[in-house]
Each structure stands twice: as C-alpha cells, then as structure tokens.
C-alpha cells in the first residue's frame, strides 16, 4: 500500500517515509496486539497530519483495526501547540539539528524567521499562526508545495549544485512546484525563488524558465535559511561562522575539516599544548612564513593571518591561539575574497 515509502519492515514494526521534511512514521505492534502509530507532524503542518491519519487509516481498515479515540480538530491543536511554545519563550520551532544559523529574529519557524510583532500577534490570536506551517490545507497541490517550500527553506544551497545529490534535490523542488501548479493554478508559489533555482540548475527547458521568470518579475527571492551565516562547531572546542552555501566534510579520521561553496575553500585543523597557558607565547611558536596582513587580540585569544598567492589561488593562512588550544584555518579563493577570508578567520572562537 505504501510502495517505495517503506524504509524498513519487520514482523512487529513498519517505518514509512511519507514526507521528506518530516521524521519517519512508525507503526508498532504492541504486546497486547494493539497498533501504535508514531508520527511527528509539527514541522510540516495539519495537512500532513491529516494525510498520515488518512493513509494509515486505510491500512487499518484492511486489518480490521479502528482508532481508539477521535483526535478532533488538528488545526486547533496545531495553533494551540504553537501558541504555547511561543508563550513559553521558544526561539526555534521545527529547525533541523544539523545546522545552526546566525539570524536576528524573535523566532525561527520552519517557513522562515519571524519578528516579535508576529510572535505577540499569534499569542493573542492563535489562528494567525497558520503561516508557520507549510501544509495547512488538504486541497490539491498543497502536498507538493509543502515539500518544495521546506526544501527551499532548509536544504537548497542557493548556488549551482556541486554534486549529483544537490542537483537531484533542486530538480525535485522544481518537479514539486510544477506538480503543485498543475494541481491548482491559483496556488501561491514562490516565483522569484523558483526562478533563481532554475537559473542555478541551468535548465534546458527555456520556455519553462522564461514563464517562471516572467511571473517573478518585480519580486525578490527571500526564501532560504542557507542564505544566512551558519555557526559551525569544529574540533578542539572551536567554532566559526560560514556562509550557508558551504558544505563541509571531515577527513583523516576527523583530524582535518574542509568546506567549499564551489568557488572558495576553507580548511581547518586544531591542536593542543596542554602545559601552555599564554596565548601570545603559544602563537609565537609558529614562525611567520608569509606577509602578515592582520593580527588579532580578543580576550584570551591571539591570532595572526598571512596571505600569499599559489598558482593563481589567493591563500589566507590564519592561526588563532586560545591557550592551550590552537586553530589553523586556511581560506583559498581569489584576491577579491581576502576580506571574506579574514572575516571567517576573525569569527574563530574557542569555548
């Protein structure tokens, strides 16, 4: 009944992937013979919640099972939950755990940052919180639009794809938006962001691209947490701020980290001198090999950045010491990227 949506299955448990932005749905046989359905629908919305109940309900009928209670109005439950979270001071709702973004906002929702005025308005009138959910209506096209919107907000890097996985993600967003439009010609769609995505994909369908771009005329692309700076935790207690378009990987048994956005590269390693307590002295252990373009003294941290050109690549090599820890950060790009590289180096923090 669920075809390719089955993640795994045993005699007592079935795991289903019913929405790419939601955790898997689990159906478990309890010792007494009851079935327990576990689904986290908060990030997507009441439309998805109703979809889970409907699709699982069809299976229950085949097995001669029935729900043991009536959940009532799921929309009212969603807005009540949202209002309670906002009133309790929750700052992030439905945000992925694997990325942390540096954004000045009262609340981060699955569909973007919101200011204090929005938060206060929702607390006063819970029905005004519907715009925090990607799938509110059960009408045609809303399923596909929710898939696209959540991918655009959380996963799309807003640049040309670097590998097959990124290209497949962006092509899936395009396909979902096309399907949503076919299903409901009056459905509000993110035309400007869609046009930008198609430009980054360099699609062959010129007529499709021109149609979307024409509908986007006069509007600006605003969707995407990955348009903002990310806070990235590194080894040795260090962290940096890096543009959301970067993707990073650990190598050499997690001894070296590197990241790229397709045009620029960042490399990081760290070490520790357990007996050293003076950051200035620790920094001086490493001799200067190239012209120093900046020095930094911030609280207990001391840093030095050098620059040079290597076979057409402009390299900024930065050291940062916060005794007993040392970070080594290398940024590679063009000469025009030097200010960017220094900004990344300055963002290094330990502890």
State the Cα–Cα distance between residues 331 and 346, nearest whole angstrom: 12
| Longest CA pairwise span in the chain (Å) | 77
| pLDDT value of position 252 | 86
For 297, counting Cβ atoms within 10 Å of its Cβ (0-12 exposed, 13-18 middle, 19+ buried), the class is exposed
pTM: 0.91
Residue 124 pLDDT > 90: yes
Q: Could you give all domains of the chain from N- to C-terminal order, each with its CATH number?
A: 91-216 (no CATH), 228-350 (3.40.1000.10)
Residue 60 pLDDT > 90: no
- Do residues 313 and 333 touch, judged by C-beta distance below 8 A? yes
Percent share of the chain, pLDDT over 90 = 87
Structure confidence at residue 351 as a pLDDT band (50, 70, 90): confident
Residue 247 pLDDT > 90: yes
State the Cα–Cα distance between residues 131 and 321, nearest whole angstrom: 45
| pLDDT value of position 94 | 86
In this predicted model, what pLDDT tens digit does every residue of 209-224 receive, in sequence order? 999 999 999 899 999 9
**What is the average pLDDT score of the chain?**
94
In this predicted model, what pLDDT tens digit does every residue of 134-167 receive, in sequence order? 999 989 999 999 999 999 999 999 999 999 999 9
Residue 69 pLDDT > 80: no
Residue 71 pLDDT > 80: no
State the Cα–Cα distance between residues 296 and 252, nearest whole angstrom: 29
**Residue 253 Rama label (left phi>0; alpha psi -120 to 50; beta):** left
State the Cα–Cα distance between residues 69 and 153, nearest whole angstrom: 35
Neighbours of 134 (CB within 10 A): 27
| pLDDT value of position 189 | 97
């Amino acid at each position: 009944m669920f075809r390719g949506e089955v993640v795994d299955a045993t005699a007592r448990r079935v795991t289903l992937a019913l929405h790419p932005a939601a955790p898997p749905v689990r159906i478990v046989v309890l010792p007494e013979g009851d079935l327990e359905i576990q689904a986290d629908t908060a990030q997507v919305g009441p439309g998805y919640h109703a979809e889970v109940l409907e699709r699982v309900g069809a299976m229950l009928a085949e097995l001669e099972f029935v729900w043991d209670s009536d959940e009532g109005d799921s929309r009212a439950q969603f807005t009540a939950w949202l209002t309670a979270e906002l009133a309790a001071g929750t700052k992030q709702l439905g945000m992925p755990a694997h990325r942390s973004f540096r954004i000045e906002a009262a609340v981060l929702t699955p569909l973007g940052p919101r200011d204090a005025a929005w938060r206060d308005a929702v607390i006063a009138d819970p029905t005004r919180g519907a715009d925090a959910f990607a799938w509110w209506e059960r009408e045609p096209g809303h399923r596909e639009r929710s898939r696209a919107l959540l991918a655009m907000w959380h996963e799309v890097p807003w640049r040309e794809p670097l590998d097959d996985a990124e290209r497949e993600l962006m092509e899936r967003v395009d396909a979902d938006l096309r399907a949503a439009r076919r299903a409901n010609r009056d459905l509000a769609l993110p035309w400007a962001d869609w046009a930008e995505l198609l430009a980054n994909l360099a699609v062959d369908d010129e007529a499709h691209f021109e149609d979307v771009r024409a509908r986007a005329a006069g509007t600006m692309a605003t969707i995407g947490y990955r348009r903002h700076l990310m806070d990235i935790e590194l080894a040795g207690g260090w962290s940096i701020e890096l543009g959301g378009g970067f993707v990073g990987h650990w190598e050499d048994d997690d001894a070296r980290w590197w990241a790229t956005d397709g045009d620029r590269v960042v490399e990081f390693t760290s070490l520790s001198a357990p007996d050293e307590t003076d950051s200035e002295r620790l920094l001086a252990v490493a001799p200067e090999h190239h012209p120093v373009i900046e020095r930094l003294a911030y609280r207990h941290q001391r840093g030095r950045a050098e620059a040079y050109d290597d076979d057409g690549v402009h390299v900024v090599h930065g050291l940062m010491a916060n005794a007993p820890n040392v970070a080594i950060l290398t940024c590679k790009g063009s000469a025009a990227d030097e200010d960017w590289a220094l900004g990344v180096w300055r963002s290094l923090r330990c502890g």
